[in-house]
Amino acid sequence: MIDSMEITIFDIQRFCVHDGPGIRTTVFFKGCNLSCPWCSNPESQSAKPDLLYFESKCVSCGRCSAACPERAIDFSSAKPFFYRDLCTRCGKCAQACMQYAIELSGKKMTVSEIMETVRMDADYYRNTGGGLTVSGGEPLCQPREAAALLKTAKGGGIHTAVETAASVAPESFETVIPYADLFLFDIKHSNPAKFKEIGADLELIKANLKQAVQRSAVIARVPVIPGFNDTKEEIYGILRLAKECGVDRADLLPYHNLGRSKYAQLGRPYGWRETEALTKEELEPYRGLGKEMGIEVAIGGKQPHEE
Ligand code: SF4
Ligand code: SF4
């Protein structure tokens, strides 16, 4: 029964307008096979639950420390200190905290439970051409589960989109193709060695992209990352790669650093802390790069009529 199939997710967001056409509900799968150091959703990377601590909400009551069966929370100073290597992610500290200063990110939900939320906005989807988007993390790290959710939505007349970097085996990619109306296909570079740095395989990505183009609609999404791919030559190379695989629309997404605080909440260092966000205006010079090769370039991932 696909309705009872469990998916590990870390969020469901309703009324999204940047994850495909119209108003959409985006389901964020937890777990990713890449390791991009600029990731704005670091809580999405591990397939296991993550413990987030919001220091500004903490009133130093000590309840979390008392509740922890592993003695993973030291309370000998003004604020709790988490020994994360001792933590089993049981969530008892989060339950004990009356200030919501601790959160366990990541849970399993069945397809049927997720669809309850997705169906709530069916009228909006109908009126705006919206629908369901599965994102992550990398949704194709749970290919059967992603396919089950997409199939259920599509079977109910809901438009479906998959946001993916697609550095997965073709068999995994094949699992979702029949149920995806649209792929938002992440392409971060054109050089295999640069892909390797973040744990991705360009040959797999290209093979999957070609399949997607033949059997579904595809928009390439290019996160423009300072120091990684933010040169005219590299953006041109990415657009050319996309075009060679059959793509005729690409969205350039400026790097933002809105995920900075999450690294602190997870107790992890963030090497990109000092990197300034890019603005849409800074990407304007790249807009014309697709012209001669016949690829439409949008800045910021909005639909053309919104710009
Ligand atoms: S229970 Fe919550 S408010 Fe109290 S010390 Fe722990 S994190 Fe802070
Ligand atoms: S999740 Fe469980 S083991 Fe981890 S710090 Fe909280 S109470 Fe302790």
Q: Where are the domains of the chain?
A: 2-46+107-306, 50-105
The CB of 68 under 6 Å from ligand 1? The reply is: no
Among residues 203, 259, 207, 250, which one has the least CA distance to residue 229? 250
Task: State the Cα torsion 279-285-287-290 to the nearest 10°.
Answer: -140
R_g over Cα of the chain: 20
Fold match between domain 2-46+107-306 and domain 50-105: no
Q: Are 229 and 235 in contact (CB under 8 A)?
A: yes
CB 136 within 8 A of CB 28: yes
Tens digits of residue pLDDT in 164-186: 999 999 999 999 999 999 999 99
Spelled out in words, what is the top-level CATH class assigned to the domain 2-46+107-306? alpha beta
Share of the chain above pLDDT 70, in %: 98
> Which contiguous run of DSSP H or E holds residue 271?
none
Q: In this structure, which residue's CA is closest to atom 2 in ligand 1? A: 97
Confidence of residue 234 (pLDDT cuts 50, 70, 90): very high
Q: Is the CB of 59 under 6 A from ligand 1?
A: yes
SS3 117: helix
Q: Quote the pTM value.
A: 0.93
7 CA → ligand 1 middle, Å: 30
Share of the chain above pLDDT 90, in %: 88
Pick the CATH number of 50-105 from 3.30.70.20, 3.40.250.10, 3.30.2270.10, 3.30.1490.20: 3.30.70.20
CB count, 10 Å around CB of 156?
12
Structure-derived torsion over alpha carbons of residues 88, 93, 99, 100, reported in degrees to the nearest 10? 30
pLDDT for 307 equals 33
Which ligand is nearest the CA of 80, by number?
1
Ligand 2 closest atom vs CA 86: 3
Cα 253 to Cα 234: distance, rounded to the nearest angstrom: 14
Whose Cα sits closest to atom 6 in ligand 1?
64
Phi-psi category of 261—alpha, beta or left, where left has phi over 0 and alpha has psi -120 to 50?
Answer: alpha
C-alpha of residue 285 to centroid of ligand 1, in Å: 48
Higher pLDDT, 145 or 290: 145
Let me know: does 167 contact 195? Beta carbons within 8 Å.
Answer: yes
Say how many Å lie between the CA of residue 89 and the centre of ligand 2. Answer: 5
